Amino acid sequence: MKTSGRRAIAFWLFACCFMVLATLVVGGVTRLTHSGLSIVEWQPIVGTMPPVSLSDWQEVFGKYQQTPEYQQVNHQMSLAEFKPIFWLEYIHRLLGRSIGVVFLLPFLYFIWRRQIDAELAPKLAGIFVLGALQGAMGWYMVKSGLVADPRVSQYRLTAHLGLAFIIFAAMFWVALGVLAERQSARLQRGGARLRSLQRLAAWLALVVLLMVLSGGFVAGLHAGLAYNSFPLMYGHFLPPDLFALTPGLTNFFDNPTTAQFDHRLIAWLLVILVPYFWLKSRRTDLGREARLACHLLLLLFALQFGLGIMTLLLAVPVPLAVAHQAGAMILFANLLWLNHLLRLKAA
């Protein structure tokens, strides 16, 4: 593949990654403003057209008025108050559909121009399938809140969030791989110390992903409102209601206190692992790009940790909570980049 072709494909995939990040941000705002249940139907094609006339608005508002959320929570809401939450959910869904279009059309174009080889094509096709599954998962999540208890399932929300990160990781990793021929020509192979660092970086990426999933349960259970103190939980390291539910295993998924405790515990683990990794990297011969990625890892984690603390202490204000969610994906992207660079050097 020519250099220009590689760069075009990589740019396309990075653009799709940015769109996933934007969708994550809008999805966070949608969740935090309780806008996610405002559209009660899943219409992947027809649903791209928003209400225009007054009768259109009255129709969609009438459907919302039949939901348990309106009847139990927002029964005093007017049409004018309904429109902002509708638009947030509409934009979130539109962004998701747009990612599918922006991914599919260039994919077909690159195949037509024979710029995608036999090894790359199945990977990209698999990513497109994951994107379609994500759309279905999004509706499956919303559907869980259109029942007697108008609350989105924390299990489905976490699955929706986790799948977004997997899709992002797949596109980002493939984009890095497309550029690997140009990069690997400039890299010198390392020894045992470098391979050890690469293994640790892989574990760090997995721990960050685990923390993202634990954050999904925190969000789904509104656990950020449970204990708004730091570093202790209202004076306790182990809060008294940590295992209030029976059987005990359900506390990890259904108890807001346990969800927040788990999220904190993983954060403290990263407080140890990230600086340790950075110090270890200082004693290893790295290229300029890998060294920069190591420095960024330390900086981004410090910012993310600080955002998490402020979000907690201020009882989850929307701007900070959304920044914290976006920061997780940016930190994850940095770790993917770092892992790719170390993998090339340690090979």
DSSP code for 247: S
Looking at the structure, tell me whether residues 159 and 211 fall in a common domain.
no
User: Rounded to an integer, what distance in angstroms lies between the CA atom of residue 278 and that of residue 280?
Assistant: 5
Residues above pLDDT 70, as percent of the chain: 95
Same domain, 207 and 302: yes
- Nearest Cα residue to 90 out of 156, 35, 20, 158: 35
Residue ranges making up the domain that contains 90:
1-185
- Tell whether 151 and 267 lie within a shared domain: no
- Among residues 127, 159, 185, which one ends one of the domains? 185
Do 174 and 29 reside in the same domain of the chain? yes
The residue that leads in pLDDT, 327 or 47, is 327
pLDDT tens-digit readout, 179-203: 886 554 444 555 788 889 999 999 9
d(C-alpha 177, C-alpha 14), whole Å: 12
pTM for this entry: 0.94
Same domain, 222 and 92: no
Q: Which residues contact 222 (CB under 8 A, 6 or more apart)?
A: 256
- At 119-162, the pLDDT tens digits run 999 999 999 999 999 999 999 999 999 998 889 999 999 999 99
Instruction: Give the mean pLDDT of 21-34.
Output: 96
Query: Could you tell me where the DSSP H helices lie in the chain?
Result: 3-32, 54-65, 68-72, 79-112, 120-143, 154-178, 180-184, 192-220, 251-254, 256-282, 288-313, 318-346
The answer to whether 181 and 6 are in contact (CB under 8 A) is yes
Whether pLDDT at 87 is above 90: yes
pLDDT of residue 149: 87
Domain count, the chain: 2
Considering the domain architecture, whether residues 173 and 220 belong to the same structural domain is answered as no
Boundary of a domain, candidates 128, 157, 185: 185
- The tokens for 110 are 């690159």
C-alpha span between 338 and 169 (Å, rounded): 13
Cα distance between residue 119 and residue 67, in whole Å: 48
Do the Cβ atoms of 37 and 145 come closer than 8 Å? yes
